[in-house]
Chain A
Amino acid sequence: MSTAAQEFERKAAEKSADLVHRGIVRWNIDQYDTGVGRGKTRFADWEAARQRCHDIKWEGVNHLDKYLLQFEQKVKENGGHVFWAENGEEACKYICDVAARGGVKKVVKSKSMVSEEIHLATALEKIGVEVVETDLGEFIVQLRNEPPYHIVTPAMHLNRQQVSKLFHEKLGSAETQDPPELVAIARRWLRKDFFSAEMGISGANFIVADAGMVTITTNEGNGRLSTSVPRIHVALTGIEKVIPRLQDLAALWPTLATAGTGQPITCYNTLMGGARRAGEVDGPEEFHVVLVDNGRTELLADLEQREVLHCIRCGACINACPVFRNIGGHAYGVTYPGPIGSVLTPHLRGLPEYQHLSYASSLCGACTDVCPVHIDLHHHLLHNRRNAIHAGTHPGSERLAMKSFCWMMSSARRFRFFGWLGRLALRVVHALGLEGTALDPMRPWTKDRAMPAIPRQSFREMWRQQNGTH
């Protein structure tokens, strides 16, 4: 078992038993569910919106070559810079170089999961640059020295009491249970950073090819401040975020907002296409877009799973996932938790080390049901499992057990015999009072669940008794 798999088991076991954690997450997701339920009713046809968004993303992802080049050309025409990063190191190096050249001491960041994926903050801190997260949730988890718990709601695992205590300890604010006051504390604290930072880093929700612009979507206005006040703006994004046309946002923005939070549209949707031009009063002096591959073209080459690149990072699958609801976001130990992460991570970080995540699912399909761009998530989990077996990442003993099972099941006589033997064994275990003890061969089941009563007769025996043999 890989180190990541062991760590996952340990954390999942711990969180599964943590009822306080379960309660907080349930409460937060209940709020979300109510909002999304209401949000969907605002659409004349939610299914049509999903289909439309799927089609837009399909067009972009299946013609990355065309649209990314179109985008690059436009950005350059508008005086911006575009850097193509093969992997995380290249992206980090480029951004660190830009920071060093520009004499940057402080960076304000709006939310970017790609920056988490490539560990950008660590790279910047290594060269002496202070990094301040300005999304409220990100700000909170940064103060706690934690990675984001969820891709949309990074501090979903905390309640207001915990946030109040954290602000009191780290920022010296008076304790308060009032959410608007907590927001105000963060706002006052961050204000000085927005105006002293030399560089702002953002992600991108979409890259618009025909306009040569990146868009970011935020609810707090921190994205706009981060990208327009500092001298330098770097937009960091995965290559799969490209969409063909500006007008596509008419479908994508409301669909993303509804699937992500239940809002009709997110409060701030910003389009940025270059540095400040002559005669303009604000905006950065330098505009850089870093296009990150980091395994995405490998996924593009996988026809079966290519559609995973359609993901618009709304977080709906994570909220819908009953596994997430019990173990939470940190247990996964990866950048992208929940179903999308379990599908994606083996592609970004390697199948042998991360195939276990595809098994940590009951394949219930709730994720697929809610995905606003129609990614067949639970089937991809199944495909990852098949790929893991083909790659030989599982112990030989498991394969032997599975082969034996299939051999047993390939003959009705063998099935009858082993079925009889198995039931007999289970009755003996029960009769000896071993159920649930260390000596119980069914312990993986009986540790948490009672054994069902084992019948003396199988169905086929009952059937024969009633109907005779054929």
Chain B
Amino acid sequence: MPKVSLFIPCFVDQLNPQVGMDVVRVLRRIGYEVDFPEAQTCCGQPAFNTGYWDEARPLAERFVRIFGSAEVVVSPSGSCTTMVKAYYPELLAGTPLHDDAVKLGERVYEFTQFLVKVAKVTDVGASFPHKVTFHDSCHGLRELHIKQEPRELLKNVRGLELVDLPYGEECCGFGGAFSVKYAMISAAMGDTKAGNIEKSGAEYVTAADPSCLMHIEGILRRKKSQARTIHVASILAQTAAAGEQASAAGAKR
């Protein structure tokens, strides 16, 4: 059985554990053996993005050592995948682990990209009878060039109606530390995004990045919006029976 190692970003581990479990379910369903290296913590992005590269470097080195022997690494976050794939080579330039980081980067994939590009699966047998719109998170879209992969997967979900999100490629305003450092700008961007989600008429907005979704959810709830957030892995994890349950749960609210 082919094997993948899970990279569960620190905040997913602590705040969205179900997203991680849903990734496991989908990967197993399509025939992968899943491994979770428990020594992993944080990829270092919060420090790196705020300019603390010297502080972030040991975390990057740690990550490279922990995942060094992994065949393939899969993560449910486009942003944290970008950190490893796109930024580790620069952060570790001139250090002994630089070459290992470059090689590791070639084996690290965001979850939907892994499914479509590596596992060559676009139908994971999921069912989710709802109207859904997809938000392109920035790192996934612009650094990893993920655009069609999640859409192909979502189109093959039973009962799911995929609708366009106006200004779908515009940033939701999360931006890591930006969301608290310049909270007013972040919230204004989120407000614009929330308005567009409502305009799309979708019941759910989904994305391949839990951090964007956490921000969007926070804004939607403050606006008392009917629209809800759900990670793309959690949609793909729903099978027919579970899908009906979700629908029933949705109807109750």
Contact = CB atoms under 8 A, between A and B. Distances in A.
Contact of A449 (B56, B171, B215): B215
Contacts of B16: 452, 455, 459
Interface string B40-79: 1110101101111101101100100000000000000000
Contacts of A405: 46-47, 55
Contacts of A409: 10, 41-42, 44, 59
Given A382-B49, A455-B17, A361 B183 contact: no
A459 B21 contact: yes
A402 B47 contact: yes
Given A326-B189, A363-B49, A419-B14, A448 B142 contact: no
B218 interface: yes
A380 to B, nearest CB: 12
Contact of A406 (B56, B181, B189): B56
B180 interface: yes
Interface string A417-429: 0010011000000
Contact of B179 (A389, A445, A462): A445
A78 interface: no
Contact of B190 (A366, A389, A394, A448): A448
Main secondary structure of the interface of A (DSSP, over half): helix
Interface residues of B, number: 64
A399 interface: yes
Contacts of A447: 183, 187
A365 B181 contact: no
B184 A399 contact: no
Interface in A204-220: none
Nearest to A451: B218
A22 B178 CA distance: 20
B252 interface: no
Contacts of B184: 12-13, 16-17, 448
Given A363-B138, A460-B36, A463-B36, A326 B190 contact: no
Contacts, number: 193
A466 B28 CA distance: 13
A271 B14 CA distance: 62
Contacts of B142: 364-366, 368-369
- Of the candidates B51, B185, B190, B218, the one having the most CB atoms from chain A within 10 angstroms of its own CB is B51
- Of the candidates B62, B169, B188, the one having the most CB atoms from chain A within 10 angstroms of its own CB is B188
Given A360-B185, A423-B14, A459-B8, A450 B218 contact: yes
A307 to B, nearest CB: 15
Contacts of A411: 41
A366 B171 contact: yes
B251 interface: no
Contacts of A323: 185, 189
Contact of A17 (B39, B178, B188): B188
B178 A362 contact: yes
A386 B53 contact: yes
A200 to B, nearest CB: 40
Contacts of B42: 409, 415
Nearest to A384: B51
B15 interface: yes
A410 B59 contact: yes
B65 to A, nearest CB: 12
A452 B182 contact: no
Contacts of A454: 15
B82 to A, nearest CB: 10
A347 interface: no
A462 B17 contact: yes
Contact of B138 (A22, A325, A365, A419): A365
B15 to A, nearest CB: 6
B200 interface: no
The 10 closest A-B pairs by CB, nearest first: A362-B175, A449-B218, A385-B51, A448-B187, A364-B171, A459-B17, A389-B51, A450-B221, A364-B138, A16-B188
Given A12-B184, A423-B15, A455-B16, 9 more contacts: A16-B187, A360-B182, A362-B138, A362-B186, A385-B49, A399-B52, A409-B41, A455-B18, A462-B17
